[in-house]
Amino acid sequence: MRIYPYLLIALFSVFVSCKDDESARLEANEKVSKKNEQIFEIINKAWVFNSPQPSPALQNRIQNWSEWRLFISELEQKPKSSIGAFQQKAKTLSLKVNDLQNHIPASFNKPEIISRIMTLSTKIKSLDLYINLSYVQDQKVIKLIPEINEELASLQSQMEEIIKKSEIRLEEGEAEMLRSVRDSIVKTAPEAPINLQQQKPSNTRGNSGIVPNLDPKQNR
């Protein structure tokens, strides 16, 4: 019979221990929740991406570049609900920048564009990494946001430069073509007609059609 008090004490200890563990778990979860809320507020305030307004010429060139349009559209849509929404957004951006890197139009498929897209991709993937860690690296995340904006501006500026250079080459090509056409016309044009009025010999016939004798000896 004496075993029952010890058994009751043991069961009570287990119950108290479980209750303490549950309380500790709830307290830890509450701390994590509060920390996530703080991180959300920090990242939400800093999450501002600026895509420069393209010139009409560039807009016309990129309107059929679907990967670019989808990437910019995804970048400009800001998450609102929770830190989890920002984590999902970072994953999506990482996928979109991969598509961008793998589908570059021929007119922009140049080393200066490829290198800038690669740098932009590296920044976005770092953002994806830091925001999706079990302990979110909020300071590294907010540091990357203006860097991504800088890389995006640099990339778009380089695309504008390529457009300008192509327009200059086109103008030079048109001018050269016009010169060639003009020279060709000059070379193949017939010679100017002879001025018959200046080259017409003097008329030595009279009205009767008989050539008058102008030798004075014969008139004697």
Poorest-confidence range of 7-21, 56-70, 175-189, 206-220? 206-220
Please give the pLDDT value at position 31.
78
Per the model's pLDDT, the better-predicted residue between 85 and 21 turns out to be 85
In order of start, what are the domains of the chain with their CATH numbers? 3-170 (1.20.120)
Using CA atoms in the order 194, 195, 201, 202, what is the torsion angle rounded to 10 degrees?
Answer: 180
DSSP 8-state code for residue 107? G
Given a cut of 70, whether residue 194 has pLDDT beyond it is no
Answer whether 105's CB lies under 8 Å from 65's CB: yes
Q: Render pLDDT for 111-166 as a digit per residue (tens, 0 to 9).
A: 999 999 999 999 999 999 999 998 899 999 999 999 999 999 999 999 999 999 98
Q: Characterize 127-148 residue by residue with b for buried, 16 or more Cβ atoms within 10 angstroms of its Cβ, and e for exposed.
A: bbebbbeeebbbeebbebbeeb
Please give the pLDDT value at position 204.
47
Per the model's pLDDT, the better-predicted residue between 24 and 55 turns out to be 55
Per the model's pLDDT, the better-predicted residue between 44 and 2 turns out to be 44
Poorest-confidence range of 18-27, 39-48, 53-62, 200-209? 200-209
Report the C-alpha gap between 59 and 56 in whole angstroms: 5
Residue with tokens 């740098």: 119
Given a cut of 60, whether residue 207 has pLDDT beyond it is no
Chain-centroid distance, C-alpha 85: 25
- Look at residue 64 and give its three-state secondary structure: coil
Give the mean pLDDT of 46-65: 94
Which helix or strand (DSSP H or E) is residue 77 part of?
A: none
